[in-house]
Amino acid sequence: MKQNVFKSIADLRFAIFILLMIASLSVIGTVIEQDQSVETYKLNYPLTNKVFGFLSWDIILRFGFDHIYTTWWFITLILLFGLSLLTCTILQQFPSLKIARRCQFFRTTQQFCRLNISTNLQHLSLSQILFKIKEKNYSIFQQKNIIYCYKGLIGRIAPIIVHFSMIIILIGAIIGSVSGFKAQEIIPKTETFHIQNVLTNGRFTLIPKVSIRINDFWITYTKQTTITQFYSDLSILNLDGNEIKRKTIFVNSPAKYNGVDYYQTDWNILGLRIKNKDSSIFQYPFINLTESKQKLWLTWISTSPQLNEGLTILIDNLQGYCSVYNTVGNFIGNLELNENLKIENSIILMDIISSTGLQIKADPGILLIYSGFLFLMISTLISYITYSQLWIVQDKKKIFIGGNTTRATFDFELEFLKLVK
């Protein structure tokens, strides 16, 4: 009974069925936004107007369609698929490899009728044929007048490596889903923060207890004032506040520490510091005009004690200057860092306060996933190695010879004709 159960799990039809279920659920996870707030699902999938006539937010939350890839039933399907691959490898692939290594002699000449290509010779001696076969790197086994030859046995290992690599990928995916996390933080420069805004995490996730300080943030521009790159200089601190590691990150060049990656993803302008004629320093917040096509920030600065007069300041970059307008909206000029704006109540721009957006990710299974795909590519290359077999039977003065191959049939036929020519 146990053998029948394992044979059913190792069956190709069962594996295809499980794989189709995983693919179908992955499609659902692609269509439905994952790991969003309840309000997002209530807005996009209302009860009064169900998507496709049945899909509403309560069904999504009830069946876990908002986090499909970390649900117990999705992980169970992955485990079943991995178990199917493992049992297929043990019950089918290893025995097949063991059979391929055996000496499979032909005892009679009638057996050559089953081969794709065969012939009989009279003009060659057995020693001449064996010498030519040896030159073609065949392994030769002989019992008196019957001979068995093969080469490319390593090509028979490719299916085993495929199953092995897919199992490694599945294990890596499971480890990543149950113990990985993703967080998003917006931090002003010179500030220190802890990882708090966690977007997704697994059941066994441990958030690292480290502090990160943003030493500086800047943007480089071209002559046409288009952005070329974002840079964040950050330091990772231990519990005592001592610096463990420091690195300047930019897009596609994250900082890595203790299995956690810190990516540069976003930026923002929070405010500016202004010194007035009395040498007093004030800080003014910016309002982000999100409706504009490009990023644009605005603030208002009072220039009179009665707060009835002031300046409007606009900024759309971090090149060190901002545009100043008077009360009626006329352009006065550009105010640069540490520069004095010569008006009745002069002001000096001390600093533009910016913040950087970091995406913080940890995926403990990523190394296994990469290793699995590496083995998968290796198995693809190995599968191109042809497994070829030759059988020879000497009957009196006649020599019967034939062969089979797993791929590259035309090349094998050319090789066979050269042997018997």
Distance, in Å, from the CA atom of 124 to the CA atom of 137, rounded to the nearest integer, reads: 20
Q: In terms of residues, how long is the chain? A: 421
The per-residue pLDDT for 148 is: 92
Considering the domain 105-152+386-420 in this protein, what is its CATH number?
Answer: 3.30.310.80
377 or 294, greater pLDDT: 377
Mean pLDDT, range 307-322, rounded to an integer? 84
Is residue 279 very low, low, confident or very high in pLDDT (cuts 50, 70, 90)? confident
The per-residue pLDDT for 292 is: 56
The pTM assigned to this predicted structure is 0.71
Q: What is the pLDDT of residues 17-70, one digit of tens each?
A: 999 999 998 898 888 888 787 888 888 888 888 877 778 888 888 888 888 888
Buried b (16+ CB within 10 A) or exposed e, 320-333: ebbebbeeeeeeee
Q: Phi, psi (5° rounding) for residue 48?
A: -80, -25
The per-residue pLDDT for 62 is: 87
Distance, in Å, from the CA atom of 22 to the CA atom of 102, rounded to the nearest integer, reads: 38
Instruction: Output the average pLDDT for the chain.
Output: 87
301 or 375, greater pLDDT: 375
The per-residue pLDDT for 1 is: 66
The answer to whether 197 and 361 have CB atoms below 8 angstroms apart is no
Distance, in Å, from the CA atom of 305 to the CA atom of 129, rounded to the nearest integer, reads: 109
Is residue 319 very low, low, confident or very high in pLDDT (cuts 50, 70, 90)? confident
Distance, in Å, from the CA atom of 413 to the CA atom of 420, rounded to the nearest integer, reads: 11
Q: Residue 199: which residues within 8 A CB-CB, separation 6 or more?
A: 35, 182, 183, 184
The per-residue pLDDT for 153 is: 85
The per-residue pLDDT for 291 is: 63
The answer to whether 303 and 311 have CB atoms below 8 angstroms apart is yes
Mean pLDDT, range 293-308, rounded to an integer? 78
The per-residue pLDDT for 356 is: 93
Q: What is the pLDDT of residues 55-93, one digit of tens each?
A: 888 888 888 888 888 888 888 999 999 899 988 888 888
Q: What is the pLDDT of residues 226-262, one digit of tens each?
A: 888 999 999 999 888 889 999 999 988 999 998 899 9
Q: Where are the domains of the chain?
A: 2-96, 105-152+386-420, 179-267+357-364, 269-355
Q: What is the pLDDT of residues 120-140, one digit of tens each?
A: 888 778 888 888 899 888 989
Is residue 183 very low, low, confident or very high in pLDDT (cuts 50, 70, 90)? very high
The answer to whether 388 and 116 have CB atoms below 8 angstroms apart is no
Inform me whether the pLDDT recorded for 278 exceeds 70: yes
**What's the distance, Cα to Cα, between the start and end of the chain in Å?**
55
Is residue 222 very low, low, confident or very high in pLDDT (cuts 50, 70, 90)? confident
Which range has the worst mean pLDDT, 117-126, 257-266, 357-366? 117-126
